[in-house]
Amino acid sequence: MSQPHQSPVKRTTIYDVAREAGVAPSTVSRAFSKPSRVNSNTAARVRQVAERLGYRTNPLARALTTARTHLIALVVADFTNPVFAQLVQGVQQAAADAASTTVLIDAQESDRLERAALERALPIVDGVVLASSRLSDAAIRMISKQRPIVVLNRDIPDIPCVVTDNPHGARRAAEHLRELGHDHITYAAGPEPSWANGIRWRSVLEAATALDIKIRRIGPFSPTIDGGRAAADELRRRPTTAVITYNDQMAIGLIRGLSQLGIDVPGDVSVVGFDDIVAADLVTPRLTTIAAPLFAQGAAATKHLLTMIDGATGHTGQPMVLPVRLIIRDSTARRCPGRRPNPTKTTRGNRLPR
């Protein structure tokens, strides 16, 4: 039987070290917090004694006076949503590079939970990255009065934001579909209140118009696989040969749903998603998608947040926009004019990927 996490003796403090090293406590403090303000010999001796005594500076006590915890909060709507995995890593890495630690808040799609968790975290973090949120603009503004904040994929005037270049992504997707002969495409919308959904739809609309492609919108659907399935039913009623979905999850669900209806992707219908989640390369057919630089986005937001924490103003001019690129895989193909939806599989549509 082991003795669990005992602290046999009191934690050693700067006072212990000070006494042992024959200096004042403040000198020990300086030796660790601002070494440049201490004679290098003294500093060396202090560190050595500290080492011997097993001294570790207590971040809590430090934070109490400095008002800096080196903790930042990351809020996401739902951790099982694969887009967030890379985002989290980006945030986590940028934070770690600045010797900060990330506090995780999964709102679990619940307004109440998000508020509660945020309320708990806010007093102990130096700032927050809001990766997705059910909070209103007003609520976010309230938070930004208490702590530095950076918002992802959402543009709130006067609040620092980092977004992806949806217009360019939509443009590339439209061009790609145009080249394949599609002259009429459908946008399958995500949640109505989502800022990202709004901008993506407008971007697709604009791109299609510019390229003389007819465009139509269906939805809104839930931004999930099931949402995509629902879109399939809707699409059958008003078919086009190409579809752009709000996100990859919907695209995957749409392809499923279509397949069930005997409609082949990309044989009968071409599908393009948004985001490039990991699964996009795993499904059959592999998904053509507009890839967002998820990791980079997390990292960029965090770096910006850290500079704000260090006193920079939020320079709340324009949102920072990150480049996207179109990744062409197997869910898009040349349009076969006059082809009718039918259950016979084409070679292409069924081939297992690479």
Site for its own copies in 312-341 (CB under 8 A): 313-314, 316
Q: Assess 111 for contact with its own copies (CB under 8 A).
A: no
Q: Assess 12 for contact with its own copies (CB under 8 A).
A: no
8 A C-beta contact, residue 42 and residue 31: yes
DSSP 8-state code for residue 5: T
* Residue 101 to residue 125: CA distance in whole angstroms: 9
Q: Assess 120 for contact with its own copies (CB under 8 A).
A: yes
Give contact residues for DNA (rule: CB under 7 A): 10-11, 13-15, 22-27, 29-30, 32-34, 37-39, 41-43, 55-58, 61-62, 64-66
Q: Which among 325, 241, 230, 319 is positioned nearest to 275, based on CA atoms?
A: 325
Q: Which does 105 bind (CB under 5 to 8 A by kind): DNA, its own copies, none?
A: its own copies
Helices (H), the chain: 14-21, 25-33, 40-53, 59-66, 83-97, 111-121, 137-146, 166-179, 195-210, 225-237, 248-260, 294-309, 347-350
* Residue 98 to residue 117: CA distance in whole angstroms: 24
Q: CB of residue 140 vs its own copies: minimum separation in angstroms?
A: 12
74 vs 121, beta carbon nearer DNA? 121
Q: Which of 51, 282, 339, 342 binds its own copies (CB under 8 A)?
A: 282
8 A C-beta contact, residue 316 and residue 349: no
Q: Which of 2, 36, 41, 344 binds its own copies (CB under 8 A)?
A: 2
# residues near its own copies by CB under 8 A: 71
Q: CB of residue 98 vs DNA: minimum separation in angstroms?
A: 17
20 vs 226, beta carbon nearer its own copies? 226
* Residue 252 to residue 107: CA distance in whole angstroms: 24
C-alpha pair distances (Å), 128 with each of 30, 140, 148, 169: 29, 11, 7, 28
Q: Which does 350 bind (CB under 5 to 8 A by kind): DNA, its own copies, none?
A: its own copies
19 vs 216, beta carbon nearer DNA? 19
54 vs 353, beta carbon nearer DNA? 54
* Residue 25 to residue 27: CA distance in whole angstroms: 5
* Residue 287 to residue 128: CA distance in whole angstroms: 33
Q: Which among 110, 115, 104, 95 is positioned nearest to 75, based on CA atoms?
A: 104
Which string of x and - marks every residue 58-97 that binds its own copies (by CB under 8 A)?
xxxx-xx----xxx--x----xx-x--xx-xx--xx--x-
Q: Which does 166 bind (CB under 5 to 8 A by kind): its own copies, DNA, none?
A: none
Q: Which stretch binds its own copies (CB under 8 A): 19-27, 119-127, 161-169, 334-342?
A: 119-127
User: With left for phi above 0 and alpha for psi between -120 and 50, is residue 275 left, alpha or beta?
Assistant: left
40 vs 350, beta carbon nearer DNA? 40
Contact positions with its own copies (CB under 8 A) in 142-171:
144-149, 158-159
72 vs 242, beta carbon nearer its own copies? 72
Q: Assess 223 for contact with its own copies (CB under 8 A).
A: no
Query: C-alpha angle with apex 164: 283 to 296, nearest 5 degrees?
Result: 80
Q: Which does 27 bind (CB under 5 to 8 A by kind): its own copies, DNA, none?
A: DNA
Q: Which does 142 bind (CB under 5 to 8 A by kind): its own copies, DNA, none?
A: none
